[in-house]
Structure 1
């Protein structure tokens, strides 16, 4: 009763979206009605989200929402991706992860032909387990999805084939380039699943029963709180990079300290480790182990090469050879703009 009736919510939805854009500068919204003037789709992206994504790694996770106004279908996803295209341009830097729903696959190729499309490794693994009534392959499957080097990938994939040839054929037919990190043609960083979309759904499990205006204001409120907390948390950090990146840097530094380095030219190094020799090209920011290439943080081999080249100053140079996306400053900019709910008294 406090939230109002569903009928009232739909009646004032067009006014609500105008207020949302007025209060949240830079926001994009769209309301679509059917032939009889009834609600069909509503798209909303807050200005804070749009501005924040500029400073983030260009990876999107797409999944169906809990709102059952319309099932996942071509029309729904065409509407969504058409509106998303106004906010997130179609470029080869972009990676989109989904659960391989046919409508997503179909409409992605129409609106995001330049972006790279990958599938959620968890969905694919679970689909294979249910389809072939076999779970023994999953350990090797997840190792294969996370492998940086192709020889490591194929070691695990051959074990999958030994365990269940049908599963191996199924995964191969989907395409290694869709689900394995080492064969993926773009850069999905460490985003291997679309779990983040399901996590967002879980945030609003109770609000899904609200009238539509109350639902979107609850969404605004929850994201406003999260943006504020993260903005404050990152503002207090004294490190150059965010904690997860700093932890990875420290681990790779410790491993790199134990390796032998042979300098070939100004920026090319041969690094000997327990599992063989790796070739590092600092200028190109790549290593034959491929961890440097894909994570955009120097791997243990690159750390050894940096130490050899820069000596005592190499600790500072690590950040010069890492992606700016990991900088604390970038994360502060991601959450810099506030999100404001539309005041109830406006309606």
Structure 2
């Protein structure tokens, strides 16, 4: 097999070869396409040429990027016509040509959209919203902002999207103000984000009644950048996850013994914004923005598509998830189950642990108990004695308040008085509530020939957002200090012969190796 590229195997030829594959799966990786070309033409193309060919195939399938901006207003009109209740808000700027403003044209700046089933489904989710942004990889730069919720079964639910120029204070204010106005007007919601100054500035401008908290992983990342100590970074993470104030004091003392400056750095962050023991259960156990990052991975393959196709992808993907999860929840309800499998699994673990607890004091008048552990818990901490107050839904371990379902100490107290501990499980974990999230179905959108005519202004791309045509954009997430990697103890092997001691560039078995016989 010839390993080098061939000049006549151009990106146009490759585009024709991979067109069907990209049509079936636009998220297909470039490495898979290179393998396809190698098997078909017995030539190994370069990554760059294959990437350019894929972009040409995407343009053949979905239209070019400039035409996609022109199609966007008609898609918005179609959403509003066939999906009643869909919220959209678009910001445009003047189109200047030869120094004069053209009234019939406008330049795209920002877009916010949310579907009604998602808005109504959020009423039955946990009152927690995670927000994050991710880059677009297409011909024009931009950032996709998303707000993500979670149902009682641990499934993520995207409730709002926006395409803005970047993670600027104006872009975040545009997104968060529309999010509060149209999607999440409920009071006392918990908003989880990183500590980006643009987000903090936008939250202050919105002047909402959100309980704004920070992602613990981002705090530990910032700590690592400042103090360069991996062991202390782990203590900061443990400090954020701790469910009791004595545990926080323990971790804080260890950090203080190492550096007073580090403790001062942590004390400058309001406790209620990053310490779980001080948030009064508003986080529901969500300490990071992983909900948003999960959706970033789901939409990664669509972020290199033209803008109209990206907006369409959010509709089709969330529609499929609603159908799948709604059917699943309904089937589980039909079988007689009341709670989700995930919460039942967690409760079974807590109930097994409660068998090794003993109730030593019981105040019948106020439903207050003192529960003593007889066996060291799986977490490895020392055995202890905990106060349980059923009326106030309180346990000294902190899990009862933070997770909104009974811990092992609460289950032991309920068993002592022959009380059903399931009454202390939040209704958000019931299958009925989970089904209510997905019960409103998405209407189908008919063929384009049935769509209503659009007679508004012509939307144009923003030339200032044009990406540098040279090379290709970076589509792999840049790893930082918050990415914990285990050290690879295995020696590196050659990518061709799989032997140790050399790389594929110096492999003696390469077809073009100088010393090969």
Deviations 1:41-68 (A, max 9, x none): 1111111211110000111111123234
Q: How far 1:170 sits from its partner (Å)?
A: 1.8
What does residue 121 of structure 2 align with? 52
State yes or no: 1:74 paired with 2:182: no
Instruction: Determine the C-alpha separation between the residues in 1 that align with 2:168 and 2:447.
Output: 33
Instruction: Determine the C-alpha separation between the residues in 2 that align with 1:329 and 1:245.
Output: 14
Instruction: Determine the C-alpha separation between the residues in 2 that align with 1:336 and 1:95.
Output: 24
What does residue 247 of structure 1 align with? 345
| Counterpart among 267, 272, 282 of residue 177 in structure 1 | 272
Distance 1:11 1:195, change over 3 A: same
Q: How far 1:333 sits from its partner (Å)?
A: 1.4
Residue aligned with 2:171, SS: helix
Larger Rg: 2
Deviations 1:21-48 (A, max 9, x none): 3322322111111233211111111112
What does residue 206 of structure 2 align with? 111
What does residue 10 of structure 2 align with? none
Instruction: Determine the C-alpha separation between the residues in 2 that align with 1:294 and 1:136.
Output: 26
Distance 1:95 1:112, change over 3 A: farther
| Counterpart among 247, 257, 277 of residue 355 in structure 2 | 257
State yes or no: 1:273 paired with 2:368: no
Query: Number of matched residues?
Result: 341
State yes or no: 1:88 paired with 2:191: no
Structure 2 gaps of 5+ residues are 1-59, 96-105, 143-164, 375-382, 452-517
What does residue 332 of structure 1 align with? 435
Verify the 8 A CA contact 1:132 1:166 in the aligned structure 2: no
What does residue 15 of structure 1 align with? 74
State yes or no: 1:6 paired with 2:65: yes
Residue aligned with 1:297, SS: coil
State yes or no: 1:138 paired with 2:236: no
Residue aligned with 1:278, SS: strand
Deviations 1:194-225 (A, max 9, x none): 12212212222222221111111112222222
What does residue 41 of structure 1 align with? 110
What does residue 282 of structure 1 align with? 390
| Counterpart among 409, 417, 438 of residue 301 in structure 1 | 409
Verify the 8 A CA contact 2:386 2:395 in the aligned structure 1: yes
Deviations 1:118-149 (A, max 9, x none): 10111111121122222111332222222111
Distance 1:117 1:48, change over 3 A: same
Deviations 1:276-315 (A, max 9, x none): 3322221222222222112111111111111122x2xx4x
Structure 1 gaps of 5+ residues are none
Verify the 8 A CA contact 1:217 1:342 in the aligned structure 2: no
Flag as ranges the 4+ runs of structure 1 deviating above 6 A.
Answer: none
What does residue 87 of structure 2 align with? 28
Cα RMSD (Å): 2.0
What does residue 244 of structure 2 align with? 149
Instruction: Determine the C-alpha separation between the residues in 2 that align with 1:161 and 1:226.
Output: 47
Verify the 8 A CA contact 2:281 2:404 in the aligned structure 1: no
Verify the 8 A CA contact 1:90 1:112 in the aligned structure 2: no
Output the TM-score relative to the length of structure 1.
Answer: 0.91
Verify the 8 A CA contact 1:98 1:194 in the aligned structure 2: yes
More helix by proportion, 1 or 2? Answer: 1
Distance 1:90 1:75, change over 3 A: farther
Q: How far 1:155 sits from its partner (Å)?
A: 0.8
Deviations 1:94-122 (A, max 9, x none): 00011111111111123253211110111
Instruction: Determine the C-alpha separation between the residues in 1 that align with 2:346 and 2:234.
Output: 23
Q: How far 1:229 sits from its partner (Å)?
A: 2.1
Q: Within 5 Å, which residues of 2 pair with 1:179-258?
A: 179-185=274-280, 187-237=282-332, 238=335, 239-258=337-356
